[in-house]
Amino acid sequence: MPREYRYQLLENQLRAVIREQRILPGERLPSVRNLCQLHQASRATVLHALQRLEAQGLIEARPKSGFYVRLPPRPLPSPPRINRQIEAPQPVTVSELLLDIMRRGAAFDLLPGQGEGDVPAGITALNRSVGRALRRQHGDDHQYYDEPAGLPVLREQLAGRLARRGAAVHAGQLCITSGCQHSLFLGLMACCRPGDVVAVESPGFYGVLQLLEQLQLQAVEIPSSSADGMDMDALEMALQRWPIRACVVSPAFSTPTGALLPEVSRQRLLALAEQYDLAVIEDDIYADTAFSQIPDPLLALDYSGRVILCGSFSKSLSRDLRLGWIAGGRWHQKILQLKLVTQLASGRALQQGVADFLADGSYSAHLRRQRYLLCQQRDQLLAALREWPVTVSCSVPEGGLALWVVLPPTQDTRQLYGAALAEGIVITPGPLFSVAGGFRHCLRLSFAHQWNAARLRALQRFGDLLQPA
Task: Say if residue 450's pLDDT is above 60.
Answer: yes
Mean pLDDT rounded to a whole number for the chain? 88
pLDDT tens digit string along 167-206? 989 999 999 999 999 999 999 999 999 999 999 999 999 9
In the chain, list all ranges with CATH 1.10.10.10.
6-69
**Cis peptide leading into 256, omega within 30 of 0?**
yes
Nearest CA among 37, 86, 134, 28 for reference residue 230: 86
pLDDT tens digit string along 76-85? 666 766 666 7
pLDDT (0 to 100) of residue 3: 57
Confidence grade of residue 262 (pLDDT, cut at 50, 70, 90): very high
Higher-pLDDT residue of 4 and 422 is: 422
pLDDT (0 to 100) of residue 140: 61
Beta pairing class for 428-429 and 90-91: unpaired
Q: Exposure pattern of 239-257 as b/e (b: 16+ CB <10 Å)?
A: beeeebbbbbbbbbbbbbb
Mean pLDDT of 15-22: 87
> What are the helix and strand counts (H, E) for the chain?
15, 15
pLDDT tens digit string along 129-176? 888 877 887 766 666 667 889 999 999 999 999 999 999 899 999 999
Whether 438 and 431 have beta carbons less than 8 Å apart is answered as yes
3-state helix, strand, coil in the chain (%, to 5): 45, 15, 40
Residues 6+ apart with CB under 8 A from 384: 451, 456, 459, 460, 463
In DSSP terms, 461 is beta-bridged to: none
- Rounded to whole angstroms, how far apart are CA atoms 440 and 430? 6
3-state secondary structure of 345: coil
State what percent of residues in the chain have pLDDT above 70: 93
State what percent of residues in the chain have pLDDT above 90: 55
**Confidence (pTM):** 0.82
Confidence grade of residue 1 (pLDDT, cut at 50, 70, 90): very low
Nearest CA among 406, 417, 436 for reference residue 94: 436
How many residues comprise the chain? 469
Task: Say if residue 264's pLDDT is above 50.
Answer: yes
| 6-69 topology per CATH | Arc Repressor Mutant, subunit A (1.10.10)
Beta pairing class for 324-327 and 244-249: unpaired
**Cis peptide leading into 262, omega within 30 of 0?**
no
- Rounded to whole angstroms, how far apart are CA atoms 155 and 217? 30
pLDDT tens digit string along 275-306? 999 999 999 999 999 988 899 999 999 999 99
Quote the distance between the C-alpha of residue 397 and its chain's center: 10
Q: Which helix (H) or strand (E) holds 295?
A: none
Mean pLDDT of 427-431: 92
Quote the distance between the C-alpha of residue 106 and its chain's center: 15
Higher-pLDDT residue of 124 and 256 is: 256
Rg (CA), the chain: 23
The matching CATH number, chosen from 3.40.220.10, 2.40.160.20, 3.90.1150.10, 3.40.50.620, for 93-118+370-465 is 3.90.1150.10
pLDDT (0 to 100) of residue 246: 98
pLDDT tens digit string along 213-255? 999 999 999 999 998 999 999 999 999 999 999 999 999 999 9
In the chain, list all ranges with CATH 3.40.640.10.
123-363
pLDDT tens digit string along 454-466? 999 999 999 999 9
CA pseudo-torsion sign 99, 104, 107, 111: negative
Higher-pLDDT residue of 380 and 89 is: 380
Task: Say if residue 112's pLDDT is above 60.
Answer: yes
3-state secondary structure of 271: helix
CA distances in angstroms from 269 to 220, 295, 296, listed in the order given:
16, 17, 15
Task: Say if residue 94's pLDDT is above 90.
Answer: no
Domain 123-363 part of CATH 1.10.260.40: no
Cβ count within 10 A of residue 33:
10
Phi, psi of 199 (to 5 degrees): -85, 135
Confidence grade of residue 75 (pLDDT, cut at 50, 70, 90): low
pLDDT tens digit string along 309-338? 999 999 988 888 889 999 999 999 999 999
Whether 189 and 211 have beta carbons less than 8 Å apart is answered as no
pLDDT (0 to 100) of residue 103: 81
- Rounded to whole angstroms, how far apart are CA atoms 278 and 65? 63
In the chain, list all ranges with CATH 3.90.1150.10.
93-118+370-465
Q: Where are the alpha helices (DSSP H) in 165-291?
A: 180-191, 206-214, 232-241, 263-275
